Amino acid sequence: MKIYSILFLSLALLGCSKEKESTETYDVSAEAAVAVASEAVAEVSIEPEDQWQYETTKDEMRGIEKQYASIHSSNQVHFDFPYEGGSNLNITLRRDVGKPTDVYFSISKGQFTCDTFNNNCYASIKIDDGPVENISLVGTKDYSSEILFIESDHDSKQFIQRIKKANQVIVELPFYQGGRQQFKFDIDGLKWDL
């Protein structure tokens, strides 16, 4: 019985010493990793990410390309159930070959509440330090409550021309059980030909 007790005690002490060694090795490795990472960060210069995202899609059957440019709002709005958790607004420019560019607003979570049937739907927009302006909006053909388009081609073209020269835009839209909410965009650097 004494032999088993001595053997067990020896194994326990051996295990403790191994655990201590591995902890010390881990700490040294962690310090070395931090030092290497710090050196790597010091050597790499990071360019600011372009806020605008660009995409081209192609209809293989018809051979027609569509081009998109979109940007997410820099702030989020928090709606009640079932949309809690923060919602971003997106501005998207869409161009079909041979057609004017469409501009539309889409919400990540939530529903717009706009009277598009009676032409009483608008966005309030402020570009840089300019005045607040209202732009008429229309819904989609399938009556989606998450997307609204700028109604006229003329207004879409003017909006694009103005945001190409601007740094910031604030867009205010009406939401179901949320009232009118404001979203901010850092829009500098849009690359889009009219």
Look at residue 110 and tell me whether its pLDDT is greater than 70.
Answer: yes
Which pLDDT tens digit goes with each residue over 35-49? 333 333 333 333 345
Beta carbons within 8 Å of 147's beta carbon, 6+ residues apart: 104, 105, 106, 112, 139, 140
Whether the ω angle into residue 82 lies within 30 degrees of 0, i.e. cis, is yes
- Determine the pLDDT at residue 161: 96
Which pLDDT tens digit goes with each residue over 58-100? 999 988 899 999 999 999 999 888 888 899 999 999 999 888 9
Read off the pTM.
0.72
Which pLDDT tens digit goes with each residue over 5-32? 444 444 444 444 444 443 333 333 333 3
Token code pair at residue 59: 């209809």
Which pLDDT tens digit goes with each residue over 135-171? 999 999 888 999 999 999 999 999 999 999 999 999 9
Look at residue 192 and tell me whether its pLDDT is greater than 80.
Answer: yes
- Determine the pLDDT at residue 9: 42
DSSP-assigned letter for residue 102: E
- Give me the half-sphere count of Cα atoms (radius 13 Å) on the Cβ side of residue 145: 11
**Closest C-alpha to 190, from 92, 57, 98, 64:** 92
Pick the more confident residue, 124 or 43. Answer: 124
- Determine the pLDDT at residue 39: 36
Which pLDDT tens digit goes with each residue over 176-191? 989 999 999 999 999 9
- Determine the pLDDT at residue 116: 65
